[in-house]
Structure 1
Amino acid sequence: MATDSHDHAHDHQPPPDEDGPLTYYQTMEIAVRELLIEKGVFGADDVRAAIEAMDARSSARGAEVVAHAWTDPAFKDALLADGTEACAQLGIDIGPTRLIAVENTEAVHNVIVCTLCSCYPRNLLGLPPDWYKAKAYRSRVVREPRAVLREFGTEVS
């Protein structure tokens, strides 16, 4: 068994607990979920399984789609024409999302960001990273995309 030899005594206060009261929508989600369980529409195990399935998604699915487009020109054309349908061809159900795929070229390099709500194709890429949802990132990538891409290691002239 490993032991932690780090002394956790610090000269500063711990950060404040960020949990606040539940929002209206969080309260409504809990109420509706509990009512649906009570009425037998689905069970708590179904909810748990759905959450575990969502948490298990990763960007590997998206990488599979991109790799397939790199190696199969017909699939690439289908992906650029209708991303949702192309994913379905690979057996990937991305849910109600309408996936629009774009191609980077020598003349055009795309950066994708939702400036309104940080929507993200979770069924294809898993949970979004926290930075993607941050308002600071969303607004900055619109104002200075090259600088943000440079910070991620991509230099665009």
Structure 2
Amino acid sequence: MAHDHPDHDHDEHEHGQHPPSDMELRVKALESLLVEKGLVDPAALDATVDHFEHKVGPRNGARVVARAWSDPAYRARLRENAGAAIAELGFAGRQGEHMRAVENSAEVHNMVVCTLCSCYPWPVLGLPPVWYKSAPYRSRAVIDPRGVLAEFGVTLPEGVEVRVWDSTAELRYLVIPERPAGTEALSEDELAALVTRNGMIGTARL
């Protein structure tokens, strides 16, 4: 579901300074209890975090974007069935089963939020940034998207429509940034190197 709003306000660094939420504290307490009772292996937890943080990161999503930029047929499949198209590149798993790709253009800028919790496509983007899970981002992204984007350094012309997509447990979104001019000669790997995690959330141009 998209919420189209003309305005917004937000700071990436500000959200990293917020104390842990009640939910984060509860999760930490539960994790500690499970480890203490021997039901969870802390090494396995560390390995899982390391996998999504360093081996996945935003690299998988960047490869999806680069392929879409360079292969019109793949781009069409991504628009029609994002989950299947992403799986073609070997990126699948829990938290990424049901995906939709939304494309930025000269007329439209897309931005993703999860207003209820922090649903996020881990197999494509790795670990979610702290600010994505914060209450200020989750509320303000819908109320004032242009203000939030401005705090990330993204100032859009008046005529550009901002579309805010609300992720859920049933459907997660991947923003395909607008391909930069002058990149026609770049290889797919070189194109992927231009794409950032924030660009695929929609809080950056790339």
Report the TM-score, using the length of structure 1 for normalisation: 0.70
Query: Please, which of 49, 53, 60 is the counterpart of residue 51 of structure 2?
Result: 53
Query: Which amino acid letter does the alignment assign opposite residue 47 of structure 2?
Result: A
Give 1:61 deviation, angstroms. Answer: 1.4
1:3-152 → structure 2 map (5 Å cutoff): 23=26, 46-56=44-54, 57-97=56-96, 98-152=98-152
Structure 1 Cα separation of the partners of residues 20 and 58 of structure 2: 28
Contact in 2 for aligned 1:113/1:141 (Cα 8 Å): yes
How far apart are the structure 2 equivalents of 1:29 and 1:44? 9
Q: Is the 8 A contact 1:54 1:126 kept in 2?
A: yes
User: SS at 1:153's partner residue?
Assistant: coil
Amino acid of the structure 2 residue aligned with 1:62 = G
| Higher RCO by CA contacts (8 Å cutoff, separation 6 or greater) | 2
8 Å Cα contact 2:82-2:99 kept in structure 1:
yes
Provide the identity percentage: 41
**1:44 deviation in Å?**
6.2
- Give ranges in structure 1 of 5+ residues lacking alignment: 1-16, 38-42
- CA offsets per residue over residues 96-116 of structure 1, 9 Å max, x none? 521110111222211111111
Per the TM alignment, residue 49 of structure 1 is displaced from its structure 2 partner at its CA by 3.1
- The 8 Å contact of residues 62 and 125 in structure 1, kept in 2 or not, is answered as yes
Q: Deviations over 1:26-57 (max 9, x none)?
A: 555566675656xxxxx765554333312322
Q: Is the 8 A contact 2:95 2:121 kept in 1?
A: no
* Aligned amino acid, residue 147 of structure 2: A
Amino acid at match of 1:51: V
**TM-score normalised by length of structure 2:** 0.55
Aligned residues: CA RMSD: 2.7
| Local SS of the residue matching 2:83 | helix
How many Å separate the matches in 2 of 1:124 and 1:148?
23
Corresponding position of 1:40: none
Q: Distance in 1 between matches of 2:46 and 2:33?
A: 16
Q: 1:125 to 1:149 in 2, by over 3 A?
A: same
Query: What number of residue pairs does the alignment pair up?
Result: 134
Inter-partner Cα distance in structure 1 for 2:21 and 2:146? 35
C-alpha change, 1:83 and 1:27, in structure 2 (3 Å) is same
Contact 1:94 1:121 in 2 (8 A): no
Amino acid at match of 1:132: Y
Q: Which deviates more from structure 2 when the two are superposed, residues 81-90 or residues 94-103?
A: 94-103
Q: Give me the whole-angstrom Cα distance separating, in 2, the residues matched to 1:151 and 1:96.
A: 28
Larger radius of gyration: 1
Q: Deviations over 1:44-75 (max 9, x none)?
A: 65554333312322112111111110000111
